[in-house]
Structure 1
Amino acid sequence: MRSFLDPSAQADVTSGQDSDQANPSRRMQGVSSAHFLKLIEERGATGFWTCDLMTGECTCSPGVSRIIGAETPQPFRMVDILERVHPEDRVLCEDLWPLTRSGVPVNRNFRIIRGDRTVRWIEFHSEVVLDAEQRPARAVGLLHDVTLQHEYRQTLDETLGRYRALVSSVATMEWRATASGEPIFSHGWTALTGQLESDVLRGSWVEAIHPEDRPAMVAAWEHAVATLTPYVINHRILQVNGEYDWFHSRAVPVLHKGGRSHEWLGMIVRHRDFGSPATHGGSNAGTLTAMQIRAARAMLQWTLEDLSRVSGVSVSSIRRIEAEGERATRANSLTAIRDAFEREGLAFSDGTAVSQRRRPPTRD
């Protein structure tokens, strides 16, 4: 059995160059196809084979022997490949030879166990050459070691898996947008709001944002897109159950080299999962401490019942908040209490500060 690339095989190929002399467009002076095959084979990841479909006689290049870990001097048989297929992949290879003999081109990826007991991923590709009567006469093909590509793919899959696990443990949903701010992907939005993916793509997702929060949200997003700065905002979203709840949204631009924006990557986190109460417009508008609530009531001379009547939060809830702080209630209750105080002219800042922006109305 002669290899594709042994001297006698090259002589056969060279002898066919006489016909090429008549066609200058096909002639490459002093170079045969064997030279190109040898150049490819010397990279160590590719091998070529051919097989007479009538007699079963096969010939292979040295690259095939290197890939499958076979002894080069022994005659090459197609079974030399099939017998080395990894047990878990054999079901993928049962029809390789029957398909090839019937004239069907084959392209498969599977693992083999080499002679030295190492495992490699290979790509098996075959084509069939027909005889003068249009019957399959000879199969030609290649083996390509794609182990490195599979390692890269596995590393990428594991990296994406870790990313997905991290995001799903924190975020209610994730989303992506183009450099110009147009949404191109959302994972979890339909389950959260009931809107379809097509609604998101045509911009109807804004309708799920509370009307009072839309202007600030749109302004923040337009500013982030225009300046390539992180987008951070808090707003209410209409959920599939028909109720609004507070969410924390943030996104960052993913940049190409040179600073050109490629896309935006963002997530939305439910505020009670985020670990802090809801806020308006990206500020700390919803956050109140127990000390601030008590101080604000004292400044307005409000009883628990007064605050309950104005804010809509029950007396028992207010009493519990003042005793235990923000951990004792839902974010919307703190927001309602803060709104009630702010309508009376009070202002709050981080920490325990409470100030009076205007004189409160005189109480009867």
Structure 2
Amino acid sequence: MSASIGGTGRPADPTSHDFMHLIEAFGLTGAWRWDFGTGRQVWSSGLYRLLGLPEGEAASYERLLGLVHPADRDVLEDAAQIVQTGIFGSHTVRLIRPDGTARTVVSRGEVFFSAEGRPVSVTGVLLDVTDRERLAELHRLEQQRRASLAQQAQVFIYSEASLPPTEYGPDFLALVGLGREDVRANWLSPIVPEEWARWAEELPRLAAAGRTFSIAPTLRLAAGGRAPFHLTMVPLREGAADQMGWTIVITPHDGGTAATPCGPLPRQVEQAIQGCHLRAARGFLDWTLNDLARASGLSLSTVRRLEEESEGPTSRSRPHALAALRKAGIVFTLVEGGTVAVARSGEGEVAPPAA
């Protein structure tokens, strides 16, 4: 008398078919087979569910190809390539099911050959990776958003497992001109040394409460000078569970004198702008010297002299170059210590007039 599972009369020792049936029950995978000699093609129940087709519909590789998104169809091998050459690779493609829903799947397979080296059959499997691809796309968009905030508004967002912070992102490290090793060796290194004692005592005390808090240290800038920034620490929790880490948002202090793209340029800001700031602004816009010359109506040699400081702060050409940059979205901000911070607002024309 044979044993059974759960009194169903099925063998106690599961077969590979049982495992496949269990996996396919989740609706995320399906398999198919094609015998070239007989022309017989077989699809698993899971493949019908994955493709959104009624079980029992004639299995056909051409039918499978017909469900692939037109833009991805050339990625998969056609029937002739498989039968004649025995080539069948691994690919990620999009499917459009009969009900109009789209799924992203990984297609993998293996071609079997006769003793003479002739392709005789192929077995394939499709794995639904739609959720994985969506997560990857969301992650890419989130990284893009954070990079834009850092480059255009000097806003930096990242996560830490614990405080004090040591895992600053590359954009913030570029702002303060430090390497990751520098910060890991001394988490206070982005801050001006005269404030180290204060924040070394205050930050751990505030973090111990496990609540959202902000500090406003003065940071050392890679381009020279210093500027006050807000660091807001937000605890990460899952429901009422223990704290899982911190999200840190770094923003410029609002006490600086900013020159918005549409408003008048404050005199103290204009006088503090140097050639290096013009070059930095061009870098944000990905403009060449010729681009700035066309946008400002100045000659190439004049723009070059402005960036080399040979024109001087009283040059009549200088306001034209600044106006062109600000029209394209550049913001010049005068922060503590007379340092000029350059950022891009995300507004403005960006592209210079065509030649």
For the criterion TM > 0.5, the same-fold answer is yes
Separation in 2, partners of 1:175, 1:153: 18
**Which amino acid counterpart does residue 46 of structure 2 have in structure 1?**
G
Kept in 1: contact 2:77–2:87 (CA 8 A): no
**Equivalent of 1:177 in 134, 153, 160:** 160
Does the CA contact (< 8 Å) of 1:176 and 1:263 recur in 2?
Answer: yes
Match of 1:292 in 2: none
**After superposition, where does 1:201-350 map in structure 2 within 5 Å?**
201-203=184-186, 206-256=188-238, 259-271=241-253, 275-276=254-255, 332=336
* Bigger mean CA deviation after superposition, 240-249 or 159-168: 159-168
Return the offset for 1:258.
Answer: 5.1
Structure 1 position 192, deviation (Å): 1.0
Give the drift of 1:80. 1.9
Match of 1:194 in 2: 177
TM-score calculated relative to the size of structure 2: 0.56
Deviation at 1:49, TM superposition (A): 0.8
- Secondary structure of 1:251's match? strand
What is the CA distance between 1:86 and its match in structure 2? Answer: 0.6
Q: What is the CA distance between 1:85 and its match in structure 2?
A: 1.3
**1:223 partner letter:** R
Which amino acid counterpart does residue 173 of structure 2 have in structure 1? T
> Which position in structure 2 is the counterpart of 1:141?
124
Bigger-Rg structure (1/2): 1
Work out the number of aligned pairs and report it. 254
Task: Work out the CA distance in 2 between the residues paired with 1:48 and 1:119.
Answer: 19
On the 8 A contact 1:220/1:232 being kept in 2, the answer is no
1:112 aligns with 2:72: no
The structure whose RCO (Cα within 8 Å, separation 6+) is larger is: 2
How far the C-alpha of 1:180 sits from its partner, in A, is 4.7
% identical equivalent positions: 26
The C-alpha deviation readout for 1:269-317, integer Å capped at 9, x for no partner, is 222xxx3369xxxxxxxxxxxxxxxxxxxxxxxxxxxxxxxxxxxxxxx
Structure 1 residues 83-162: aligned runs within 5 Å: 83-94=66-77, 98=81, 106-129=89-112, 137-150=120-133
- Structure 2, unmatched stretches of 5+, are 1-9, 258-332, 339-355
- Alignment-derived partner of residue 284 in structure 1: none
Give, in whole Å, the separation in 1 of the partners of 2:182 and 2:38: 62
Contact 2:233 2:247 in 1 (8 A): yes
Distance 2:55 2:239 in 1: 48
Which shifted more, 261-270 or 101-110? 101-110
List gaps (5 residues or longer) in structure 1. Answer: 1-26, 279-328, 335-364
Q: Which moved more, 1:165-174 or 1:76-85?
A: 165-174
Q: Distance in 1 between matches of 2:83 and 2:246?
A: 48
* Larger mean Cα displacement after TM superposition, 151-160 or 185-194: 151-160
**1:45-103 CA deviation, whole Å, 9 max, x = no partner?**
43221123566542212332343345654542222222321122234324898579867
Distance 1:66-1:172 versus aligned 2 partners, 3 A rule: closer
CA distance in 2, matches of 1:167, 1:242: 18
Q: Deviations over 1:95-139 (max 9, x none)?
A: 898579867774433212233444332332223456667876543
Amino acid in structure 2 at the alignment position of 1:225:
A
Distance 1:240 1:128 in 2: 58
Q: Decide whether the 8 Å contact of 1:111 with 1:122 is kept in 2.
A: yes
CA contact 1:100–1:106 (8 Å) conserved in 2: no
Match of residue 352 from structure 1: none
Sort the Cα spacing of 1:250 and 1:129 in 2 relative to 1 into closer, same or farther, 3 A: same
Q: Distance in 2 between matches of 1:330 and 1:69?
A: 61
Q: CA deviation at 1:263?
A: 2.2
**1:186 aligned partner, one-letter code:** G
Q: Are residues 1:48 and 2:48 paired?
A: no
- SS of corresponding position for 2:216: strand
Aligned residue in 2 for 1:291 = none
- CA RMSD between the two structures: 4.1
Separation (CA, whole Å) in 2 of partners of 1:153 and 1:177: 21
When normalised by structure 1's length, the TM-score is 0.55
